């Protein structure tokens, strides 16, 4: 069970979830990266926090969609390729967790 305080885009609140706090922090950190990309790339065009949040969400949905399509293509190629892709994904996730634990 994790509790996390979020202070982003002018909003401050706490969330409780049935997942590890470190996992929640990783999710929020990834979202902050996307928010920073939106703020940097749009410059003065988008300054409203709600608009920045929406654009960040759209960009994350785009990444998710691309990953799903990539996964579907891998599954269609062959079962062995799909297994290898899943093994690679899990390995990278494990390495990220190790890196985070070391820092």
The pLDDT tens digits for 63-72 are 999 988 888 8
- pLDDT number for residue 58: 92
Q: What is the pLDDT of residue 35?
A: 92
Burial (Cβ within 10 Å: 0-12, 13-18, ≥19) of residue 11: exposed
Whether residue 90 is predicted with pLDDT greater than 80 in this model: the reply is yes
Please list the residues that pair with 14 across neighbouring strands.
5
DSSP state of 10: T
| Average pLDDT of the residues in 64-93 | 80
On whether the CB atoms of residues 16 and 6 are closer than 8 A, the answer is: no
Per-residue model confidence (pLDDT) at position 78: 67
Statement: the pTM of the whole predicted model exceeds 0.85: no
In the predicted model, is pLDDT for residue 53 greater than 90?
Answer: yes
List b or e across 37-49, with b for residues whose CB sees 16 or more CB atoms inside 10 angstroms. ebbeeeeeeeeee
Q: Which residue has the tokens 């790339």?
A: 41
Segment 25-50 shows an average pLDDT of 88
Mean per-residue pLDDT, 64-81 = 79
State the Cα–Cα distance between residues 68 and 56, nearest whole angstrom.
Answer: 18
Q: What ranges in the chain are assigned the alpha helix state H?
A: 21-42, 49-77, 79-102
When pLDDT is averaged across residues 79-99 and rounded to a whole number, the result is: 79
Asked if pLDDT for residue 62 goes beyond 70, the answer is yes
């Amino acid at each position: 069970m994790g509790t996390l305080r979020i202070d982003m885009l002018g909003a401050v609140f706490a969330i409780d979830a049935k997942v590890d706090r470190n996992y929640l922090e990783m999710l929020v950190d990834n979202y902050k990266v996307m928010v920073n990309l939106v703020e940097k790339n749009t410059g003065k065009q988008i300054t409203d926090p709600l608009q920045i949040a929406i654009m960040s969400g759209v960009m994350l949905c785009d990444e998710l969609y691309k990953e799903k399509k990539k996964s579907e293509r891998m599954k269609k190629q062959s079962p062995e390729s799909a297994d290898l892709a899943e093994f690679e994904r899990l390995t990278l996730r494990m390495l990220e967790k190790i890196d985070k634990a070391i820092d």
